[in-house]
Amino acid sequence: MNDDLLMQRYLDGQLSREDLAVLNQRLRDDADLRQHLRDIAEQAVAFGDLARRGKAALPVTTPSVTATRFTWLALAASIAVLAASAWLFFASKPDAVLTLVESTGTVAWSDGTLIASGEKLPAGTLETVGEASSALLRFDDGSLITLHGDAELSFASEHQKVLSLTRGTLSAEVRPQPAGRPMLIRTPSAVAEVVGTAFDLSTRSEDTLLKVNEGLVKLKRLADGSEIEVPANRSAVASLDTGAALDAASTPEPLIAWRFDFTSSTPPRDWRGYSKNGTMHASPYVAKKMPDGRIVTHHGISIRTAMLEQPLRLLANEHSVIKYRLRQESPGPLQVMLLTNRLNGNHGGNFECKIPAEELRPGPGGWCEVAIPITRYEPVDPRPHIRKRHPSAVGNIITSAIINTFREDRQLEVSHFELGTR
């Protein structure tokens, strides 16, 4: 159905719910179409006024002037009704709560409708789809919220800003809020009360991890109502376990070297993949969602430092090297990725290196050592302004390291991961 027919049926009140969703999306995406609908409304009101005042100068095309005048008045009245419908459409449009400043990967409403950068968003629920997705959101007062990876956030703002992070991780830079009206961020296990500060917040079904970079955040544990104030450079975990201590621990200094050996340690369950026989095996995950609703699935392993209960910050510098010991059932190329934040908690960009199959040289048992200098990682996002803003991972905190075999499941295994130096 074309746009003109959609608008005509909308104004006649004959659109189905599915067609109305299509028209709403078209109006969000196309400024010219929104202006066209406004023009219809303005012209209809103007014609209606002329008809009511009897000043319409019309050519006589039928023998009966009276009949022509009657037809014109009926037409003007009909157009005026359509104009009123159009006016109601725009007048009833929900007020914008925040703006999607920029995004990488897939950002969508909870009903699956994709959201484009630059859109002003009313109260609702959105999600970033895929581990490499992100969304930078800005309130009118300049407060910034960045969603990282696979996350879901509900938001509203009337007398105060109220957010609900159902899953995933966000970083925030919150401007000073009005007295008595702090920003509230709810999770399944906690409520964070924010007056004005910078912090990172991650949530899982059983706990919430808070790291404050600047200012002060009050954290309330929902399981028993206990509260704690978390100052800058401190971290806290609010869990469903009321027997666990709710206290603010010092955030450690960033590390430039760290290793995780899967043969001797069990990885956190929030890491992508599954542990078996002393190695980490790739599992399928949603990489992105297409405009038509189809999802793209990759097979990979991710090491998520942001989801560790004991705070850990891995710092990439110009000498950093990412190392894997791995094997595949069948040869093929690999994609290795780094998801990063800046030292102050803001989004630092996502980076990738594609390793061709011929670069992998398996040894005994099919195992091979892969060492990727940080200089080989390029921004994932192809847009020039994003690449200019996030040109390199150097100087950033690595929040997640991902290795995958793209859409093909080649039974990838990893026995250890390491951040080292040359």
Q: Identify the pLDDT of residue 56.
A: 41
What is the pLDDT confidence band of residue 293, given thresholds at 50, 70 and 90?
A: confident
- Helix H, strand E, coil C: the string for the chain is CCHHHHHHHHHCCCCCHHHHHHHHHHHHHCHHHHHHHHHHHHHHHHHHHHHHHCCCCCCCCCCCHHHHHHHHHHHHHHHHHHHHHHHHHHHCCCCEEEEEEEEEEEEEECCCCECCCCCEEECEEEEEEEEEEEEEEEECCCCEEEEEEEEEEEEEECCCEEEEEEEEEEEEECCCCCCCCCEEEECCCEEEEECCCEEEEEECCCEEEEEEEECEEEEEECCCCCEEEEECCEEEEEECCCCCCCCCEECCCCECCEEEECCCCCCCCCCECEEECCEEECEEEEEEECCCCCEEEEEEEEEEHHHCCCCCCEECCCCEEEEEEEECCCCCCEEEEEEEECCCCCEEEEEEEEECHHHCCCCHHHCEEEEEEHHHCEECCCCHHHHHHCCCCCCCEEEEEEEECCCCCCCCEEEEEEEEEC
pLDDT of 103-162, one tens digit each? 888 999 988 889 999 999 999 999 999 888 899 999 999 999 999 889 999 999 878 999
At 422 the pLDDT is 85
pLDDT tens track for 71-99 = 444 444 445 444 444 444 444 557 889 99
pLDDT tens digits along 304-361: 886 665 668 899 999 999 999 999 999 999 999 999 988 877 789 999 999 999 999 9
pLDDT tens for each residue of 38-76: 555 545 444 444 444 444 444 444 444 444 444 444 444
User: What pLDDT was estimated at residue 37?
Assistant: 63
**Arithmetic mean of pLDDT, 227-249:** 93
Domain ranges of the chain: 3-91, 96-250, 258-421
pLDDT for residue 17: 55
Indicate whether 34 pLDDT > 80: no
CATH of the domain spanning 258-421, picked from 3.40.1350, 2.40.160, 2.60.120, 1.10.150: 2.60.120
Q: Which residue has the higher pLDDT, 263 or 61?
A: 263
Q: What is the pLDDT of residue 61?
A: 43
| Predicted pLDDT of residue 44 | 45
> Which band of pLDDT confidence, cut at 50, 70 and 90, is reported for residue 11?
low
pLDDT for res 246: 93
* pLDDT tens column, 162-213: 999 999 999 999 999 999 999 999 999 999 999 999 999 999 888 999 999 9
For residues 132 and 5, the model is more confident at: 132
Same topology for domains 96-250 and 258-421, yes or no? yes
Predicted TM-score (pTM) of this structure: 0.73
96-250 topology per CATH = Jelly Rolls (2.60.120)
